[in-house]
């Protein structure tokens, strides 16, 4: 049986993360594991678009901590702790894995198509590739799929070569 002592759940507070949070809680409860909630804030940067962006529009650490506390309150019968880190999401998630000795990462994914991943990148995909432990990604089940998503189009190909009879 898989031994899970610590589960890391990175969250961006989206609907996708909320669904993954419920899965992480269920696993933590079933395995009597510690659940570590992580939110990664981007480093503050000054953007000049006709002038600097005022500091009050940047993410507020206290607001993020309050959102994490709200999640903690929803994790019934689970040992939960929260962390807020600042930096690139992939690097900080991987750092948190090492610091917490996480046995599993449970994170949401937006379920983008291959083209969107190519253009926008995917935190979940990069974490999956680089993490030293198993990663469970969860797409919200209510998400509507476009009828022509790349994983829905199938084509049959006969790869045998036909030889003409003499």
Give the DSSP letter of residue 54.
Answer: P
Question: In the chain, what are the helix, strand and coil shares in percent, each to the nearest 5?
Answer: 35, 20, 45
Annotate 104-147 with DSSP letters as a single string.
EEEEEE----HHHHHHH--HHHHHHHH-SS-EEEEE-TTPPPPT
Q: Which pLDDT score is estimated for 92?
A: 96
Whether the predicted pLDDT of 103 surpasses 70: yes
Question: What's phi and psi for 115, nearest 5 deg?
Answer: -65, -45
- Tokens for 23? 């899965």
Averaged pLDDT of the chain: 79
How many Å apart are CA 75 and CA 40, to the nearest integer?
20
Could you report the per-residue pLDDT of 68-86, keeping only the tens digit for each? 999 999 999 999 999 999 9
C-beta neighbour count of 24 within 10 angstroms? 31
Scanning the structure block, which residue is given the tokens 């899970």? Answer: 4
How many Å apart are CA 25 and CA 110, to the nearest integer?
20
- Tokens for 85? 């880190």
Domain range annotation of the chain: 1-44+98-119+127-144
Cβ atoms of residues 122 and 93 within 8 Å: no
Closest C-alpha among 59, 131, 61 to residue 90: 131
User: Which residues is 79 bridged to in the sheet?
Assistant: 34
Q: Does domain 1-44+98-119+127-144 match CATH 3.40.50.620? A: yes
Closest C-alpha among 23, 4, 10 to residue 93: 10
Could you report the per-residue pLDDT of 27-66, keeping only the tens digit for each? 999 999 999 999 999 876 666 666 665 555 556 888 989 9
């Amino acid at each position: 049986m898989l031994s899970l002592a610590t589960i890391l759940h990175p969250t961006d507070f989206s609907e996708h993360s909320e669904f993954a949070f419920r899965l992480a809680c269920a696993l933590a409860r079933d395995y009597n594991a510690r659940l570590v909630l992580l939110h990664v804030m981007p480093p503050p940067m000054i953007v000049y678009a006709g002038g600097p962006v005022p500091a009050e529009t940047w993410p507020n650490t206290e607001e993020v901590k309050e959102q994490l506390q709200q999640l903690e309150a929803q994790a019934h019968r689970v040992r939960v702790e929260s962390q807020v880190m600042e930096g690139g999401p992939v690097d900080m998630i991987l750092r948190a894995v090492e610091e917490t000795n996480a046995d599993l990462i449970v994170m949401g994914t937006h379920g983008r198509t291959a083209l969107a991943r190519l253009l926008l990148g995917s935190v979940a995909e990069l974490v999956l590739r680089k993490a030293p432990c198993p990663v469970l990604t969860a797409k919200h089940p209510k998400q509507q799929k476009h009828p022509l998503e790349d994983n829905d189009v199938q084509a049959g190909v006969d790869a045998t070569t036909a030889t003409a009879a003499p």
